[in-house]
C-alpha cells in the first residue's frame, strides 16, 4: 500500500494543507517500508488541480492521501479515484500516521 503526504515546503518536508499547496508528494510504501519523493506533474490549467493531482496519484498506485486541510473539491476528486483521504493535526508526525494506518489493517 502507498500512503502519500502533501508536502508544501520541500525544505522542512512537513505535511501540507491542501492539494493546491503541494510542491511535491512524499510517498510511504508499506511493502518496501520506505519513503520516496514524487514530483508534481506539469500542469497547464491550475483550475483543476484537485482532479489532475488525484488522477496523477492514482496512476502512481497511491491508496491514501494525507493533508492538514483538504477541501471539498479535493475530497470529491480523491473519492472519484478511489483514494482514501485523511485530514490530520499539525502535531501528528508522518511516522505516527503511518503506524496508525498500518495497525488498523
Using pLDDT thresholds of 50, 70 and 90, give the confidence band for residue 6: very high
What CATH code would you report for 2-104?
A: 3.30.420.130
To which residue does cell 492521501 refer?
A: 65
What is the tens place of the pLDDT at every residue in 56-76? 999 999 999 999 999 999 999
Beta bridge partners of 34: 29
What is the tens place of the pLDDT at every residue in 10-35? 888 999 998 888 999 999 999 999 99
Residue 27: how many CA atoms within 13 Å on its side-chain side?
17
pTM confidence score:
0.91
- Helix residue ranges per DSSP H, 21-60: 49-59
Map out the domains of the chain as residue ranges: 2-104
Residue 30: how many CA atoms within 13 Å on its side-chain side?
16
98 contacts 40 by C-beta, under 8 angstroms: no
> How confident is the prediction for the chain on average, in pLDDT?
92
Amino acid at each position: 500500500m502507498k500512503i502519500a503526504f502533501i508536502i508544501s515546503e520541500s525544505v522542512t518536508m512537513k505535511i501540507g494543507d491542501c492539494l493546491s499547496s503541494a510542491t511535491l508528494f512524499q510517498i510511504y510504501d508499506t511493502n518496501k517500508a520506505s519513503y520516496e519523493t514524487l514530483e508534481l506533474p506539469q500542469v497547464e490549467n491550475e483550475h483543476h488541480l484537485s482532479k489532475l493531482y488525484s488522477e496523477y496519484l492514482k496512476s502512481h498506485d497511491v491508496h491514501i492521501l494525507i493533508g492538514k486541510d483538504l477541501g471539498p473539491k479535493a475530497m470529491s476528486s480523491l473519492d472519484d479515484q478511489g483514494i482514501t483521504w485523511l485530514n490530520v493535526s499539525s502535531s501528528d508526525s508522518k511516522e505516527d500516521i503511518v503506524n496508525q494506518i498500518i495497525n488498523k489493517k
